[in-house]
Amino acid sequence: MGKITDALKKAAEERLSRIDKLDEKSEISYQFVVQRTVDANYDPRIVSFYDPHSPVSEQYRMLRTNLQAINSEKPIKMITITSSIHSEGKSITSINLAISMAHDLNKKRILLVDADLRRGKTGKYLGIEHPVGLSDLISNGANIDDAIVKIGIENLMFLPAGKVPHNPAELLNSLKFRNCINALKEKFDYVLFDSPPIIPVTDAGLIGAQTDGAIMVIQANRTQRGIIKHSEDMLRQARVKILGYVLTNVQYHVPEYIYRYL
């Protein structure tokens, strides 16, 4: 009986070992940064452009679909994208979402706005330098058509931050800014405002109060719950509707059969 038991135990161990090896082969780890396959100056993390069929790009499409599905008295058209603190992936999220919307929303006119008048980086990620932007529209009354830039993606336009003003918060809290937002609303179907993080400065609250709501970008394994709660309180105090949350820097494995379906 001892030999039979030992043989059965050995057979079971071999069977489990084979299953583990199959599981390892059927599970693939995907990086969030893709290799450039197109001649463009965009940051490699703009996966919606470089690899629109990847699982990560699919997540941005799901975000777009969820925004459209929000049960509201009026459709969500003007969206503020912010975070609690710096370097949580807010600008990269804004660009990927804007590109996903431009690709999939049936000829809708999309505008991405770098609304960080202090240290905007959206233009840098897109490889674009333009002397006129949002701050010039508000402070100097510049022409909208002179400030908006074509970036080589159909249905998508970009409005840079413009020259760094000495009074960003005052500009964003002005009647001129509200008039600017109304003009953009008339010209475009969807406008995404890549705003500064909410805790260091008040800008995101000022912008979000003039739009249909805000998306909060949160970096996994970095941003503490207390900080997120404080950010939520600050947005609500500014009368900003929180539309949802995006978790960045998430590492996960995608089974091969799911990837084949995508």
Handedness of CA 246, 157, 194, 68 (dihedral sign): negative
On whether residue 21 sits in a domain, the answer given is no
On whether residue 7 sits in a domain, the answer given is no
Q: What is the DSSP letter of 85?
A: S
Domain residues for 201? 28-261
pLDDT surpassing 50 at residue 39: no
Say which residues have a Cβ less than 8 Å from residue 47's Cβ, sequence separation at least 6. 32, 33, 34, 54, 56, 57, 60, 96
- DSSP helix/strand/coil, 4: helix
On whether residue 100 sits in a domain, the answer given is yes
On whether residue 65 sits in a domain, the answer given is yes
What is the domain-level CATH number for residue 154? 3.40.50.300
On whether residue 226 sits in a domain, the answer given is yes
On whether residue 12 sits in a domain, the answer given is no
Q: Give yes or no for a contact between 100 and 13, defined as CB atoms under 8 angstroms apart.
A: no
Domain count, the chain: 1
Question: Tokens 């890549």 label which residue?
Answer: 194
| Sheet-wide strand order for 78-83 | 149-150, 156-159, 110-114, 190-194, 78-83, 213-219, 242-248
Confidence of residue 95 (pLDDT cuts 50, 70, 90): very high
Burial 78-93 (b: 16+ CB within 10 A, else e): bbbbbbbbeebbbbbb
Specify the pLDDT at position 258.
46
On whether residue 15 sits in a domain, the answer given is no
pLDDT surpassing 60 at residue 138: yes
For residues 161-178, average pLDDT: 94
pLDDT surpassing 60 at residue 172: yes
19 vs 247: CA distance, rounded Å = 32
Question: Tokens 């059927």 label which residue?
Answer: 26
Predicted TM-score (pTM) of the model is 0.80
252 vs 237: CA distance, rounded Å = 35
